[in-house]
Amino acid sequence: MLNMKPEMLDADAFHPYGQVIDKEHARSFPINSGMCTRYHDLAEIDVTGPGARPIVSIVTGEPYELPARIPMVERHPFGSQAFIPLSSRPFLVVVCDDDDGTPANLKAFLTAPGQGVNFKRNVWHGILTPLEDTSDFVVVDWAGEGTNLEEHFFDQPYTVG
Amino acid sequence: MLNMKPEMLDADAFHPYGQVIDKEHARSFPINSGMCTRYHDLAEIDVTGPGARPIVSIVTGEPYELPARIPMVERHPFGSQAFIPLSSRPFLVVVCDDDDGTPANLKAFLTAPGQGVNFKRNVWHGILTPLEDTSDFVVVDWAGEGTNLEEHFFDQPYTVG
């Protein structure tokens, strides 16, 4: 087992892997006669391939305990994947660089309340890992034709926390 | 003033105008070795026109009191628009049919906790109307070139509630 301590999720540190979705640092402007503030265009939705279209789903995830076992990561060759929590509870965000088709250099982040993430297309990442309690997420990702999933199981699992 | 009483939001009644986004009645299946349930493909994202792309934003809305004054509706010729609440508080959903370019037959719905909506492209609808307290919403809509807004102010405002 290789143990990692997560760092707090930060837009700059996460930038190579995607976008942090939150109101902080976002471009915002008033709409609806000032009754609303719009934090604009927070995730780069990128869907490609035959029949590709963006879809909106809700995913309910059972919680993990820390330290969480991370036996594998996955990636989606045809689409970005955004997760926006419908609760204020944190979740773990695990990403890897790609070394010629193999995930390398695992990084682990812990979200602050209200933060979501959008993984760029084909970025290695851990599966959804809610903490503390069962949690709902809005997911914006891909539908289309073809196999949009590649999994990599580590020879030696990581633990995070 | 024309007063309307809202009815509870219902997928069948709302169907001509778009989709109700919630877990109830959705197609769902387990993912991630059973740790998650995915309520799949809840909104028909429809963006069109030059440079069109779907975007994800967060909108923070100040609350309205009931009865709420509804002086106008708007529509977006280039894109659908989804609102998913990040709280369990209700909001008002106002839609109209189109009568040769003029909104007609106003209908008002009140959401149950957890319900969001996706307005079809070019459907007349009221602006975001949160109730009870300041509320955040995930918004999935359009970016691109051109004017994606048409507004109609009623000769005689409606009140809803």
Number of H helices, E strands in chain A: 1, 15
The CATH number assigned to the domain holding B111 equals 2.60.120.480
Q: Mean pLDDT in each 10-residue stretch from start to end of chain A (161 residues)?
A: 93 98 94 96 98 98 97 98 98 98 98 97 98 98 98 96 93
Strands (E) in chain B, as ranges, are 2-4, 7-8, 18-21, 28-31, 36-43, 53-61, 68-75, 81-85, 91-99, 102-110, 116-119, 124-125, 129-130, 135-143, 150-160
Contacts (Cβ under 8 Å, ≥6 apart) of B17: B95, B107, B119, B120, B123, B125
Give the pLDDT confidence score for residue B25 in this predicted structure. Answer: 83
CA distance B119 to B160: 19
* pLDDT for residue A1: 73
Q: Parallel, antiparallel, or unpaired: how do β-strands A116-119 and A18-21 relate?
A: antiparallel
**Closest to A127 (Cα-Cα) out of A81, A79, A77:** A81
**What pLDDT is attached to residue A43?**
98
B140/A139 touch (CB, cutoff 8 Å), yes or no: no
Q: Which positions in chain B have a beta carbon within 8 angstroms of at least one beta carbon in chain A? A: 21-23, 26, 31-32, 35-43, 45, 53-62, 64, 82, 84, 86, 114, 118, 127-128, 136, 138-140, 143
At B13-64, the pLDDT tens digits run 999 999 999 998 899 999 999 999 999 999 999 999 999 999 999 999 999 9
Q: Do B42 and A61 lie within an 8 Å CB cutoff?
A: no
Measured between beta carbons, which residues in chain A are less than 8 angstroms from residue B84?
Answer: 56, 86, 138
Q: What is the pLDDT of residue A134?
A: 98
Contacts of B144 (CB under 8 A, 6+ apart): B47, B49, B50, B51, B52, B53, B78, B79
Confidence (pLDDT) at A140: 98
Q: For strand A102-110 and strand A68-75, is the pairing parallel, antiparallel, or unpaired?
A: unpaired
Query: Contact at 8 Å (CB) between A19 and A43?
Result: yes
pLDDT over 70 percentage in chain B: 100
Band (pLDDT 50/70/90 cuts) for residue B138 is very high
Distance, in angstroms, between B35 CA and closest chain A CA?
5
pLDDT value of position A25: 83
Q: What was the ipTM of the complex prediction?
A: 0.96
| pLDDT single digits (tens) A75-122 | 999 999 999 999 999 999 999 999 999 999 999 999 999 999 999 999
Contacts (Cβ under 8 Å, ≥6 apart) of A24:
none
Report if pTM > 0.95.
yes
The total number of structural domains in chain A stands at 1
Query: What pLDDT sits at residue A116?
Result: 98
Instruction: Look up the domain containing B69 and give its range.
Output: 2-160
CB pairs under 8 A between A and B: 118
Q: Helix (H, G, I), strand (E, B), or coil: what is residue B91? A: strand
Asked if the Cβ–Cβ distance from B138 to A40 is below 8 Å, we say no
pLDDT of B125 reads: 98
Chain B interface mutation, best of A39, A57, A135, A141, highest count of B Cβ atoms under 10 Å: A57
pLDDT at B1: 73
Contact criterion met (CB < 8 Å) for B23 and A86: no
Q: Which chain A residues have any C-beta within 8 angstroms of a chain B C-beta?
A: 21-23, 26, 31-32, 35-43, 45, 53-62, 64, 82, 84, 86, 114, 118, 127-128, 136, 138-140, 143
pLDDT at A106: 97
